Amino acid sequence: MSRQPLDLTINGESYQLMVEPHWSLLQVLRRELGMTGTKENCLEAECGVCTVLLDGKAVNSCILLAEQARGRSIVTIEGLGDPEHLHPLQRAFIDHGAVQCGYCIPGMILTAKSFLDECRGHVPSEAEVREALSGTLCRCTGYQKIVEAVIAAARQLNSWPEEAGRAS
């Protein structure tokens, strides 16, 4: 099948690509663009390591055709914060010991970001955070420090609301 032109907006930048229609967004990010911060594992929306934001909402890029992202805004972990300007979620994950092998962490942070953006103005309960993150598997941490980090980040984002909008 021949390649078709596809323009994507990723982390605020536009990309002019030639893609085959069946390519997933994950495949385009990792294989075509070398943006390997978005991870690859089950390819069936069961593990969540491939999570990116599509118009601000967390989605599994492994089962989303790149075509389905046409004309929409994509944010990957590379667009959230960089080592000099960490997003409060990234900072909290480090400070709370929520990172072990780290392979699930980009997806976990973006899942959390989409959730916290929806509950702007209130700090979610532990139960709410657990519910929100249930689509992203972590095999290292048992989730406890991840949940603590998300709640801590929520507190901070609420006290600096202008920070919350960055990269979204």
Partner 1 sequence: MSGYQHRVAGKRLNRLDGIGKVTGKHVYAADFALPGMLFGKILRSSEPHARIRRLDVAKARALPGVRTVLTASDIPAIRFGTAIKDRSVFADGVVRFRGEAIAAVAATSLEIAEAAVRAIEIEYEPLPAVFDPEEALTSGAPLVHAGWSDYQALPVFDREGNVSGRAELGGGDVEAGFAQSYRIYEHRFTTQHVHPGYTEPRSAIASWDGNGDVIVWCNTQLPFDMKNMLAEVLDLPASKVRVIVPGIGGGFGGKLRVGVEHFAAWLARASKRPVKVMTTSEEELTDAYPRQPTIVTLRTGVSRDGLLLARQGRVLLDCGAYANSGPATAAIALQVLAGPYRTPHLAFESVAVYTNKGSTGSFRAPAGPMANFAVESQMDLIADNLGIDPLEFRLRNVYREGDKGPAGETLTSVSIEECLRKAADAIGWHDRRPAHGRGKGIACSWWLTTGGSSGVYVKINPDGSVTLVSGAVELGSGAITGAAQILAEELGVDLADVNVAEVDTHSSPYDYGAQGSRTAFSVGNACIAAAKDLRRQIGELMAAQWQVPIDSVRLEEKSVISGDKRMSLAEVASLSQRSGGGLISHGTAIQPMPVFDPSKVKNHPLPAWTSHSFHAHAVDLSVDQVTGEVSIHRYVVAQDVGYAINPTYIEGQIEGGVAQGIGQTLSEEIVYDQGRVMNANLTDYKMPTTMDMPRVECILVEKPGVNGPYGAKGVGEPPCIQPPAAIANAIAVASGVRVCSLPITAEKIALERLDRAAD
Partner 2 sequence: MSFAFHRPDSIDAAIAVAREHGASARFLAGGTDLIIQINRRRIAPEHLISLAGLGLDTIGETGSEFVIGAMATHDAVVGHPAFQKQLKALTEASAVVGGRQVRNIATVGGNIVNASPAADLVPVLLTLDATVELRGGAGTRTLPLDRFLVERGRTERRPDEILTAVRFDKPPADSATAFLKAGRRKAMEISVICVAAHLVSDGKARIAIGAAASRTLRVPAAEAIVEKGGRAAFAEAGRIAARQMSPIDDVRASARYRRLLVAAMVERALGICADRIEGKST
- Binding segment (CB under 8 A) for partner 2, from list 7-15, 16-24, 33-41, 138-146: 16-24
Helix segments in 64-119, DSSP class H: 88-95, 105-118
CA distance 77 to 64: 17
Of residues 90 and 114, the one with the C-beta less far from partner 2: 114
- Residue 58 binds partner 2 (CB under 8 A): yes
CA distance 138 to 40: 13
- Residue 128 binds partner 2 (CB under 8 A): no
Of residues 85 and 120, the one with the C-beta less far from partner 1: 85
Q: For residue 94, what are its two tokens?
A: 């480090």
Contact partner, 104, from partner 1, partner 2, none, Cβ < 5-8 Å per class: partner 1
Q: How far is the CB of 51 from partner 2 (least distance, A)?
A: 5
Contact partner, 49, from partner 2, partner 1, none, Cβ < 5-8 Å per class: partner 1
DSSP state of 78: G
Among 124, 111, 107, 113, residue whose Cα is nearest residue 165: 113
Which stretches of the chain bind partner 1, using CB under 8 A?
A: 30, 34-44, 46-47, 49, 76-78, 80-83, 86, 90, 93-95, 97, 99-106, 109, 129-131, 133-147
Neighbours of 107 (CB within 10 A): 28
